[in-house]
Amino acid sequence: MFNLFKKNPIKKLEKAYLVKLEQAMHAQRKGDIKSYSMITEEAEKIQEQMSALQQSE
C-alpha cells in the first residue's frame, strides 16, 4: 500500500537518458563529435543503471 507514494527510480533514469540522447543529437548536428561521444557514453551508463534496476525488480 505504501509503494503507491514511492517514486519510481527507473522513470527518473529514463527521463535523464532521453535528455542525454537529445543533447547528444544536438552536439552531433553542430558537428561537435567529441561532445557527442562523451554525452553518448553518459547515456549508455544511465541505460546500464536502468537495466540493472529492472533486473533487480
The pTM score is 0.83
Q: Which residue has the higher pLDDT, 40 or 2?
A: 40
- pLDDT tens-place string over residues 3-40: 677 788 899 999 999 999 999 999 999 999 999 999 99
pLDDT class of 50 with cuts at 50, 70, 90: very high
Residues 48-54: contacts with CB within 8 Å, 24+ apart? 49/13, 50/10, 50/13, 50/14, 50/17, 53/9, 53/10, 53/13, 54/10
Phi, psi of 31 (to 5 degrees): 95, 10
Length of the chain: 57
